[in-house]
Amino acid sequence: MSFTELLQPIQQFLQCETPDSWLMEAQKPERLAVLLQDHLICELKAAQTAMYLLRRYACDKDSSVTLLNWLKPFEDFAYRFDGDIQSLKQAEKLTKSIIGRSDFAYSDRIIDRMVLLIREELHHFCQVLDIMQARGIPYENISASRYAKTLIQNCKTHEPQILIDKLICGAYIEARSCERFARLAEFVDPELASFYTSLLRSEARHFADYLELAQVISKSDITERVRFFGQLEAELILTADPDFKFHSGAPVTTI
């Protein structure tokens, strides 16, 4: 499948493209550090989101502990500055099986999709960190943008709709990430362009997995909720945003 074919469902799903003003700002060398630092944290947060879904809905108690231990070295590095790239690379792979709950019909399906997603996001975390270190960019624990937080704040608060909404939000976050990697690859240096392009297939699959899970698990049509979050997501992307990050909106200030 060509990248054009790969991106077509993404472009049809998203209700807007990344604005040119964001791309112009992202091209500036002065923005590279914050883009990579934020990208690094986004990979961890993507893994944490998938792990929350696994622990909340899909796996048994012992597997929940296994998952927490899997993510711990990455959280220690990101939040407590404990660890290094070599120890993180050794911790990428899950060494134990995850056992599904017997009281949820979709446990195995969620486990299959989300364990693979976590594995890939942690690998991407290490790849971004490698690039940062090679370029002399220090890791800093920067604040999160408004993007994902605002999407999640608009999820319903009752089951099963909260699960459906979070899956739809996951689809939008992965779709936007894929779209931005593709757009950025047109403007950055060859090494970064190759890296961003290498992420497209996994990001597109993550988008499809989240959307499929939402459709399968929901007992009613999700079209209206998809449209609702699509409008909200587009608003976050197109409106003025003073905090420049990987998923931020139109830049207010430039450097």
Residue keyed to tokens 């500055």: 81
- pLDDT value for 3: 78
The pTM is what?
0.96
Write the pLDDT tens digit of every residue in 1-14: 677 888 999 999 99
Contact predicate 142/135, CB 8 Å: no
The C-alpha atoms of residue 214 and residue 113 are separated, in whole angstroms, by 12
Long-range contacts of 195-204 (CB under 8 A, 24+ apart): 195/127, 195/131, 197/3, 199/124, 200/3, 200/6, 200/7, 201/6, 202/120, 202/124, 203/174, 203/175, 203/177, 203/178, 204/6, 204/7, 204/9, 204/10, 204/174, 204/178
Q: What is the pLDDT of residues 107-159, one digit of tens each?
A: 999 999 999 999 999 999 999 999 999 999 999 989 999 999 999 999 999 99
Fold assignment, 3-248: Ferritin (1.20.1260)
Under DSSP, the state recorded for 57 is I
